[in-house]
Amino acid sequence: MLNYVAPSTVEEAVRILAEAPGTAKVLSGGTDLLVQLRSGRAKPGLIVDIKKIPGISGIGERDGDFVIGASTPGAVIGECEALQRAWPGVVEAANLIGSTQVQGRASLAGNLCNASPAADSVPALIAARATCAVAGPKGRREVPVESIAIGPGRTSLSPGEFILEIRLPKPRPRSADAYLRFIPRTEMDIAVVGAAVSLALDADGVCADALVVLGAVAPTAILVPGAAAALVGRKLDETALAGLDQAARRACKPIDDKRGTIEYRTKVAGVLARRTATIAYERAGERR
């Protein structure tokens, strides 16, 4: 038997989630949850719809950071020109999730908490050094996005906890990000590999700082420090790209499945890392 409740404050939502007997599920856009309800993969006794909480949907700025409410749909993220200018990689990743219809509902927090290894927005958020505000019975905590997913379908959130908002820092001068995924068709598919790169250049166009994150090649999205190190201190020459490619391939621990073999995913990870870094580098160079 399933019950539904739509609390109107954070405190009420936390209390309901913490006190719920059996399994309670947080509902935001529902584009993963409703599929899981239908298939029987999720059998919650209670659904807690957080969309009635004021401020839970929408994009704002606080102390120079972008603050994206947990329930903000992908379509709204794609329409936010300021965010698109600041973090084009995050926006392109968010907008790759599903169809136009899915974009009307699906949220970044949902993509994160669904904890699919192939989630498109997660590598881009990690590369952008995004954090999330988590509400729970012990109060509010701010954690990096990479600490949320701990395995396929599993998160580090405790019972009663849910994500309130995602926070993106103001980008530094001469910095940019990018995200690419590989799928065998042009739309409506799940990443075989995803690659996110954010980097910052010095005044001479030398890479001063970089983050490289891969998706769909391990149980969670993974930061690849060796790949970032290959970029730092160089302009994006062949030595840098070859080092990036090799480090990206070494970091892969993918599965074999219908979307791709281990060998294929590993090879594609290197190629995608190169292409993504090239886009991020060009974007950063255009920002003076």
Q: Residue 197 burial (CB < 10 Å; 0-12/13-18/19+)?
A: buried
**Contacts to other proteins from residues 86-145, by CB under 8 A:** 98-102, 104-105
Query: Partners of 65 in the beta sheet?
Result: 62
Retrieve residue 257's tokens: 């499945």
Work out whether 3 is an interface residue with other proteins (CB under 8 A).
yes
Work out whether 8 is an interface residue with other proteins (CB under 8 A).
no
Which of these, 192, 246, 252, 245, lies nearest to 222 by C-alpha position?
Answer: 252
DSSP helix/strand/coil, 194: strand
User: Which of 14, 69, 73, 195 lies at the binding interface for other proteins (CB under 8 A)?
Assistant: 73
What amino acid occupies position 123?
A: P
User: Which of 81, 187, 204, 237 lies at the binding interface for other proteins (CB under 8 A)?
Assistant: 187
User: Which of 31, 111, 116, 175 lies at the binding interface for other proteins (CB under 8 A)?
Assistant: 31
Q: Which region among 43-51, 157-165, 176-184, 204-212 touches other proteins (by CB under 8 A)?
A: 43-51
Work out whether 75 is an interface residue with other proteins (CB under 8 A).
yes
Work out whether 49 is an interface residue with other proteins (CB under 8 A).
yes
Which of these, 238, 246, 255, 235, lies nearest to 273 by C-alpha position?
Answer: 246
Q: What is the CA radius of gyration of the chain?
A: 19
Q: In what order do the strands lie in the sheet containing 175-182? A: 175-182, 193-201, 207-215, 222-223
User: Which of 27, 148, 201, 211 lies at the binding interface for other proteins (CB under 8 A)?
Assistant: 27
Residues of this chain that interact with other proteins (CB under 8 A) are 1-4, 6, 27, 30-31, 34-35, 37-39, 47, 49, 51, 73, 75, 98-102, 104-105, 186-188
